[in-house]
Structure 1
C-alpha cells in the first residue's frame, strides 16, 4: 500500500491518501477546462484509497455544477484544487495537488470530443526551464 501527501498552494490545507490509485485520466471536457483554465484536468481516481485531512479541513469547500456530477473541491484561501469524495465510492485527486511523486502515468485522455482546438502537437513547441526573457 502506498501513501501520498498533498497540499494547497498557500499550505493551509494538507492531506494524506492511504492506498493506491486505479486510474489517471486527463479529462478534456468543457467543465474541466473551465475548472482548470487549461486544456484538461489531470485527476487520479481510486475506489479503495482513503483520504485523511491532516490540516486545514475547515478551509476545504466544494462546488457541484447543478444538474451534473461535476464537482470541484478547493481551498477557500487560495483556490487550489483538492481531493473530492463527492461521487459515492470514488476518490478523485487532482494530480497537481500531490507533493509526493506519482509514478503512475496517465491511463487515458477522456472526453476528447471537447478537446481545445489549440491543444495539438504541443510537444513540438520550444521548451524553457523558466519564464523566457
Structure 2
C-alpha cells in the first residue's frame, strides 16, 4: 500500500487515515485472533513507520488488552468493528484489513499460527464458492 490509506467502521461513525507503508500482511489463525474476529483468521496489516489520524468518531474508539499479554484489540463502541491499534512502545501500527476503505493491494505475506487453526478449517477446498448469498429453500 502506498503512503495514505483511509478506513472506517461498519456504522461509519469512526473514520481515519493511515500514513506510511505497510511492512507486513499476515493471516493469523491463533485462538485469540479467531475469537477477535469470530472467523477462521484475522487479516492484519503492520506498519513500523505508520501512523493513524482519526478524522471522526474518536470518542467511540475503545481498546481491550488481554491481561498478561500483548494481544490488543481496538474497536468501535457503537458497531463493534475492529479498528487500527497503535503500540507506541513497540513502534508498530496494526490495521485490520477489513476496516480499510482504500483497496488493499499488498498480498498477504503468510498464514501464521497454523498449528493453532480451527479444526473446521480442514477440508474447505471442496466446498461451493458463491458470488452472492445462497438461494433460500
TM-score (norm 2): 0.93
Residues 75 and 82, structure 1, Cα contact 8 Å, conserved in 2: yes
2:119 aligns with: 117
Aligned residue number for residue 76 of structure 1: 77
1:102 is aligned, of 85, 101, 104, to 104
Mapping 1:16-31, distance limit 5 Å? 16-31=17-32
TM superposition outliers: structure 1 runs of 4+ over 6 Å: none
| Residue number in structure 2 paired with 1:48 | 49
For structure 2, which runs of at least 5 residues remain unmatched after alignment? none
The Cα of 1:127 is off from its aligned counterpart by 1.3
Looking at structure 1, the residues matched to 25 and 123 of structure 2 have their Cα atoms a distance apart, in angstroms, of 21
Once the two structures are superposed, what CA deviation does each residue of 1:70-124 show, in whole Å capped at 9, x if it has no partner? 0000000000000001362000000000000011000011111111111134343
Give the number of equivalent residue pairs: 133
Q: 1 CA distance for matches of 2:70 and 2:85?
A: 12
Q: Is the 8 A contact 1:69 1:87 kept in 2?
A: no
CA distance in 2, matches of 1:87, 1:95: 20
Deviation at 1:50, TM superposition (A): 1.3
